[in-house]
Chain A
Amino acid sequence: MYAALLAAAVGFVVTRLSAPALISFLRSRGVVRPDAHKPGNPQVAHAGGIVIFLGVAAGFASWVALTGISDAVVRAAVALGAGAICFLVGLVDDLRVLGGLTKTLATVLSILPVVVAALLRPDLVKWGRPSLPFVGTLRITIIYWALLPLAVAGPANVVNMLDVLNGVTPGMMIAAYSTLALIAAVTGGHATLALSLIVVGVLLAYYPYNAYPARVFNGDSGSLFLGGLLGALAVVDHYEFVVFTLLLPHLLNGFMILVSFRGFKEHRKVPKRPTYVDDRGVLHPSRDADAPLTLTRLALLLGGSATEREVARLYFFLELSACALALLSALH
């Protein structure tokens, strides 16, 4: 526990120190994107996932140095390996835009480290019997195998789909990973506890750079990594239902988008926008019957037009609701 807290502190310091230099570097290399929700669409540095990944890698390395190699370290390394594949897919997309379906299929490959680990060390990584609330474990081996390709790719992509406003993803992920760390501390998931604490440390340092008005966007490298890592931890340490519950806002948004678009579509190629921004930077829901339904559009329809900062705050509170349900699921 103390080693994990120290590793989280290392992740925090490395992120805090490296972020300004990395953001300047990205800007100088022209890795920028227009901020669509601000008047004048200012250019903002992109691929902030590099900052997040670097911080988590530094935190993980220090945790390994402090504890030595153990079963928990191997499990955490497997989960981090899966997250790293998501990060690389996202980085390619940040630098050269990938199609929606291509990106989704590429993230499916991120399950490979988990599959290899389960085949080589079945004593460490077991699957087929997910831990479920109120009923205990359920033997659903074939269904589990059928869903396994989506175990990491699903969380990665739904987190990416909700990464649309300044500060939303780091804010929601701080809440999600903190709750997962708490549950892991109580239930003895050492790998999940360590990696969750490290991610929280990194995101606390990173958040001010992505919060409104953002100086850096997470990019797909950031959102796919954070979601993918959450999915990998769910499989490796059997927190399937807990992680599912933590990601309910993201899953609902992803589901709405998939149903509205009837398939995967890159957000840059969406013909009708679900929301639009006026000259003052206020977000309004689209009134077009053919516009896709997203969680942001639904929120604006329920609560009225709002600023980007207000919607980001709403998402944070919504994630707290999901965290409460996750605690109820884990500690019933």
Chain B
Amino acid sequence: MKLLRAWAGLTALIIAAWLLVLLFIFVLDLLLPVVLSNVLRALLGLVLLAGWIAGMAVLVEVVRRRVAQKPAPESCAG
């Protein structure tokens, strides 16, 4: 197994997810103080959260469909 290659790929994925969550937090921090009604704030927060989850779900589905077509790297195991 090419450990470094797999580690770098998965770490890049983790950093991307971490940055996306930070972006979500910044958007919440920017938008929530503008909305005065508590109910609307909650709704906005939940809509943003649902949108973020849906976006991640689409991303995973795209990756899942693409990886099945990708040729396998040369194995070093065994």
Contacts and interface: CB of A to CB of B under 8 A. Distances in A.
Interface of A: 132-135, 138-140, 142-143, 146, 244-245, 248-249, 251-252, 255-256, 259-260, 280, 282-285, 287-289, 291-293, 295, 297-307, 310-311, 313-314, 317-318, 321-322, 325
Given A248-B14, A289-B65, A293-B63, A301 B70 contact: yes
Interface of B: 1-3, 5-7, 9-11, 13-15, 17-18, 21-22, 25-26, 28-29, 32, 38, 41-42, 45-46, 49, 56-57, 60-61, 63-65, 67-70, 72-78
Contact of B49 (A143, A291, A302, A314): A143
Nearest to B49: A143
B27 to A, nearest CB: 11
B73 to A, nearest CB: 4
Chain A CB within 10 A, most for which of B56, B61, B67, B69: B67
Contacts of A307: 1, 77-78
Given A303-B6, A310-B1, A255 B60 contact: yes
24 contacts: A132-B29, A138-B32, A139-B32, A140-B45, A146-B42, A245-B18, A249-B10, A249-B14, A251-B17, A287-B72, A293-B60, A293-B67, A299-B9, A300-B1, A301-B73, A302-B10, A304-B1, A304-B6, A304-B77, A305-B75, A305-B77, A310-B3, A314-B10, A318-B10
A307 B42 CA distance: 47
Contacts of B15: 321, 325
Contact of A287 (B9, B11, B68): B68
Nearest to B39: A142
B14 A314 contact: no
Given A138-B25, A143-B49, A248 B17 contact: yes
